[in-house]
Structure 1
Amino acid sequence: MKRASPWRWAALSGLLYGLSFPSFTQLHLEPLAWFCWVPWLLALRGPVSWGQAAGSGWLALWIGTAIATRWLLVVQPGVGLFVFTVQSALMLPILLLFFAVRRLVGWRRALWVLPPLWTGWEWLLTRQPLHTPLAFFGYSQANWYGLIQYCDLVGVWGIACWLVLFNVLIARAWAQAAEGRTGMTRRLLPRLIAIALPMLALPAGYGWYRIGELEPRLAQAPRITIALVQPNVGYGGKEQESQRDYVKAMEQMVIRSTESIIAHHPDLVVWPEATLPFDVSTQAAVRDYLLLVVERWNVPLILGFQERLDERHLYNSALLVTPQLARYARDLPRDQPPRLKVYRKQELVPFAEQVPFADRVPALEALALPIDGATSLILKGDPVATRFAFRDHQGVKRWAGVRICYEVLYPAGTARLVADGAAMLTVISNDGPFGRSTATLQLAAYSRILAISTRRSLARCANTGLTLFADPLGRLYGSVPRWEEQVAVGSVALGNDLSLYVRYPDLFPAACLGAAVLGALLAWVRMGRAARAS
């Protein structure tokens, strides 16, 4: 590759990076991630200023983020442009730190710092409220479940580290092959083969081994039948319903669909996120009606609802209603409502669902971005692992973990649920605001990584789709078409083993961060010694 200004190569890297994410139903471009950063890395071999490195790096990240999450423009163009700009700026320190090390010890040595640095920095970003992990590198490989079975060891962080290492090895091979004046292709091809074979064979071999080992266990694992109700109600439709007539609307939308499958005797019914746009615990008419139908069905129900505190603030919550609770509530005095088991969403979309640091500086709430004309702010739930316990048709007690929409991008919280005893996972989502964009394809694909890393079956219920199931190997099944009123019924395997990732969800990324810091310190010490020697 001819050395030149890094801008054109940054644009190419950003294009390849963005296209590698799962956005298409038939076209799989995930292999682009294996070498997407090679053009930009090679452009930094020659004399490049700090300004060129920072500007070109930010350009690559902005283009990549914009392409990977282009569906944000469907939600609202201003929101999308804001997210692209902020998130690429938050990722830029990875490339700047690499460039700093490159100036200390040279391009070839600095490349080895990049894989742990990238992995550790992404992990750090999940621990602060400004960043959204929608375009984290590891998620680009979500649909290639055969290659990413090692998520049960290191989570999505292991995929990111593997991808960056792949890029580093190819960049080094390209640079070595380009040193001669002629015959570059002849020198490059054997090097690329020597890199690709072990880099693909190792994860593929582990995947083959784990799939072969776990399939017999899944065949013998205890199972329950779950019904996922997809009412096909868009975002605005629910907002427009008044509280007074919502019981009737709810019956038309989800009660009808649920009653159509009760004869099949599911062990659990799941409704999507924000099925009820108001607080069940305070709206007695809706709560009583809900308890009545659950008692009649004799099937536990998980559903999403909103706990509104005032005109601007609310909790995005999930609720479990069991037949046992319904029968118990029937005998209570009217002025003593039953205590409901509630989970409140903990991971919130910055500037859309919550404004970072607004709890300390309330004036910051003015920065909230409107979504579909609404600017309600969601409060963060308590950081506790909330499991839902229910009994199946045989009377056996089962435990389910619940995640709400965007929380699939925060696997550590799910790992805590599984470590606390969740035998399967449910994800409820409101995908109506995304329209017919690729957003729901991405979020559904990301659920694969959650299932693999925790080795738990997953049931995803979305109001407009995609509604589907994933087994502990990340294989999807039982999906129903988007934008149709449908019910997906599936048999779900229950698990009790804890993967290495579930036991130690932060071990690998923290170790990567430590390795990157150590590498940078060694580079600084080496530079100091060289300066003193001269």
Structure 2
Amino acid sequence: MMVKIQLFFKQYSLRNYLWPFVSGLLIGTSYIPFPPWALLFCYAPLWIFLFHKAKTWKEGFAAGWWTQFTLSLIGFHWVSYVTKQFGGFPWPAALVVLLLFAAFVHLYIPITAALVVYLKQKYSWSLSKTLLAAALFLSIAERIWPAIFPWHLGYTLLWAKIPAYNWADVIGFEGLSTIVLLLNAWIAWIWEHRQQRGALQKHGFLLVAFVVAINLSGYFHGQSWNEFDRKLTVSIIQANIGDFEKVYAEQGQGNFQESIVQKFLALTREEVAKTSNTELIVWPETAIPEYMDFFNAHGKIPRLLGAGLLPMGKTLLSGSYSKDAPGEKSPRQTYNALFLLDSNAFAIGQPYRKTNLLAFGEYLPFSERFPILLKLLPFVSNFGRGHGPEVLNYPHPEGDLKIGGQICYEGLYPEFTRGLAEKQADILANVTNDSWFGRPSEPRQHLYMTLARAIEVRRPLIRSTNTGISTVVLANGDVLQQSPLHKEWHGSYEVLMKKSPPTTDFVLWGHYDWILILIALIALLVKGVRDARPHRA
């Protein structure tokens, strides 16, 4: 048994998979917050290895595993910090969690690699078929693989301000990721034919022409969203509340609730004194550590909040908590919520209650079906689930505005924001608390993955965070001033928008480009099988 284990590790050791390892390095160092220097060829070493070196599906799986393990360690190293800070693990244990996370989180990469090698061997596929299949299979896998949040290389276009990102309002950022993967396959093909001068020149020219064309057309396409006919002045407050201050406030310990609300009010007064014409104040996720429902309107914290807001006479959009009214449901559930409050701190309409909950942070997986799990693991939070996407109606002298609320990582899901646009949201508002994730990677990854939603639906998006990064992105893709990380801060923005904004193709059709990808895959498979028949005969 020991001999078999030794042979296994020797056979699949890093020494035998250097090219896949290089792919992992290229991908990991081309994703946010790094410049996307290898965006167009980062998968090429892996896919070339699959064609030349991998002889069995097991070797294909091992190659893909080394790629995903490496990129996950680089791109998502912040998992160890979260484990230590949020879970209270010592650093050695937190590093073990990171290694386990990196070992399994992106298994769709080795699975697709194994499938490609199997088909290549079975049907004697050419280089072209192998590379194309690798890109298409990976594109489909990115979309269907169950993960904490969807991740792909399309977001790097917005991060790096590469104009091609403007086509996201047609095919979404997942569609842009598919184009990036196909370009990786094309460059891998060109590399393999680098000794053939004619092919190198022809395909090199066509590749450059395509990249220039998609970016040039993307730039002009983005310019078409520069027309605005309405303005809303918004002030964002970032109080930089510490992790454990929030926990103690949520538990009602000491005077943390009062001190947190007073801190937000003090910063708000400073900003209103500086920008007296501001119309809407925005506080981040769970900024108000209390229920703000109508049945608790005269509680201690709501009264404190109302006394502070009334002299300013401003409307507040804030993350808070919500609870089922007495007699509404048994047992009553607590919700992570977004409230629109008038200057008396009274709720304007119903709050939005978070719908997409964070596994283990806000709910225990499978506990809705097996409630006994909650008794076995009582320390796991168990928030109620809302019925979003939903919009909040903001009364305004120039005409009411519909605010599409996103709480934290709901902004990472394109379909959720499509739902807000379908409900005629005029503006998007994302409230977040990234205090558990450290710096610098996760806050910037989360930021741009959220801002991407504004491009897909072409609505301005306000992002208010507890510790940063807070900002506003307009429908044309302009990202306005960004707040510093882990500092108290407040700032105001003129949010330009369009009355009755048009519906984008992405809102109309969503990710229906997967049908084209599937058709291309089926055609490739059918052709591969037909071409292999004479060879097998």
Structure 1 length-normalised TM: 0.84
Q: Secondary structure of 1:460's partner?
A: strand
Q: Select which of 250, 268, 272 maps to 2:260.
A: 250
Q: Select which of 181, 191, 200 maps to 1:164.
A: 181
Q: Select which of 504, 508, 511 maps to 1:506.
A: 511
Whether contact under 8 Å (1:156, 1:449) holds in the other structure is yes
Say if 2:233 is the partner of 1:225: yes
Q: Select which of 79, 99, 110 maps to 1:92.
A: 110
Query: What do residues 65-110 of structure 1 show as CA deviations (whole Å, max 9, x unaligned)?
Result: 2211112221122553343233222443332333333232513213
Tell me how many residue pairs correspond in the alignment.
495
For the residues of structure 1 that align with 2:153 and 2:176, how far apart are their CA atoms?
8
Q: Which moved more, 1:163-172 or 1:63-72?
A: 63-72
Say if 2:66 is the partner of 1:51: no
Offset at residue 53 of structure 1 (A): 0.6
The 1:355/1:51 distance shift into structure 2, 3 A limit, reads farther
Q: Which moved more, 1:196-205 or 1:516-525?
A: 516-525
For the residues of structure 2 that align with 1:366 and 1:190, how far apart are their CA atoms?
67
The 1:85/1:381 distance shift into structure 2, 3 A limit, reads farther
Q: Which moved more, 1:167-176 or 1:202-211?
A: 202-211
Say if 2:139 is the partner of 1:101: no
Whether contact under 8 Å (2:340, 2:392) holds in the other structure is yes
The 1:41/1:176 distance shift into structure 2, 3 A limit, reads same
Give 1:174's aligned residue.
191
Say if 2:341 is the partner of 1:321: yes
For the residues of structure 1 that align with 2:360 and 2:100, how far apart are their CA atoms?
10
For the residues of structure 2 that align with 1:314 and 1:524, how far apart are their CA atoms?
56
For the residues of structure 2 that align with 1:363 and 1:312, how far apart are their CA atoms?
18
Whether contact under 8 Å (1:353, 1:376) holds in the other structure is yes
Offset at residue 398 of structure 1 (A): 0.9
Give 1:144's aligned residue.
160
Q: Select which of 202, 211, 225 maps to 1:214.
A: 225
Give 1:334's aligned residue.
none
For the residues of structure 1 that align with 2:507 and 2:426, how far apart are their CA atoms?
13
Q: Which runs of 5+ in 1 are unaligned?
A: 181-185, 330-337
For the residues of structure 1 that align with 2:373 and 2:152, how far apart are their CA atoms?
27
Amino acid at match of 1:416: G
Whether contact under 8 Å (1:15, 1:64) holds in the other structure is yes
Give 1:287's aligned residue.
302
The 1:322/1:99 distance shift into structure 2, 3 A limit, reads farther
Give 1:461's aligned residue.
464
The 1:84/1:312 distance shift into structure 2, 3 A limit, reads farther
For the residues of structure 2 that align with 1:367 and 1:462, how far apart are their CA atoms?
33
Offset at residue 503 of structure 1 (A): 1.4
Amino acid at match of 1:277: P
For the residues of structure 1 that align with 2:100 and 2:366, how far apart are their CA atoms?
18
Offset at residue 52 of structure 1 (A): 1.0
Offset at residue 265 of structure 1 (A): 2.5
Whether contact under 8 Å (2:223, 2:476) holds in the other structure is no
Q: Superposition RMSD on alpha carbons, in Å? A: 3.1
**How is 1:11-410 mapped onto 2 (pairs within 5 angstroms)?**
11-24=21-34, 28=35, 30-46=36-52, 48-76=55-83, 77=94, 78-103=96-121, 104-106=123-125, 107-125=127-145, 130-133=146-149, 135-145=151-161, 146-178=163-195, 190=201, 193-215=204-226, 217-218=227-228, 221-241=229-249, 243=252, 245-263=255-273, 264-281=276-293, 283=296, 284-307=299-322, 314-323=334-343, 326=344, 340-362=349-371, 375-382=380-387, 384-392=388-396, 394-410=397-413
For the residues of structure 2 that align with 1:140 and 1:363, how far apart are their CA atoms?
43
**How is 1:450-529 mapped onto 2 (pairs within 5 angstroms)?**
450-495=453-498, 496-524=501-529, 527=532, 529=533
For the residues of structure 1 that align with 2:487 and 2:516, how far apart are their CA atoms?
46
The 1:36/1:364 distance shift into structure 2, 3 A limit, reads farther
Offset at residue 314 of structure 1 (A): 4.6
Amino acid at match of 1:71: W
Q: Secondary structure of 1:477's partner?
A: coil
Whether contact under 8 Å (1:68, 1:135) holds in the other structure is no
Structure 2 length-normalised TM: 0.83
Offset at residue 439 of structure 1 (A): 1.1
The 1:412/1:171 distance shift into structure 2, 3 A limit, reads same
Amino acid at match of 1:13: S
Query: What do residues 298-335 of structure 1 show as CA deviations (whole Å, max 9, x unaligned)?
Result: 32211112347999985322111135xx59x6xxxxxx
Q: Secondary structure of 2:224's partner?
A: helix
The 1:38/1:458 distance shift into structure 2, 3 A limit, reads same
Offset at residue 6 of structure 1 (A): 6.0
Whether contact under 8 Å (1:65, 1:135) holds in the other structure is no
Offset at residue 517 of structure 1 (A): 4.3
Q: Which moved more, 1:143-152 or 1:281-290?
A: 281-290
Q: Of the two structures, which has the highest relative contact order with CA contacts closer than 8 Å and spacing of 6 or more? A: 1
Offset at residue 296 of structure 1 (A): 4.3
The 1:346/1:250 distance shift into structure 2, 3 A limit, reads same
Q: Secondary structure of 1:147's partner?
A: helix
Offset at residue 203 of structure 1 (A): 1.9
Q: Which runs of 5+ in 2 are unaligned?
A: 1-13, 84-93, 325-329
The 1:436/1:173 distance shift into structure 2, 3 A limit, reads closer
Offset at residue 172 of structure 1 (A): 1.1
For the residues of structure 1 that align with 2:186 and 2:463, how far apart are their CA atoms?
37
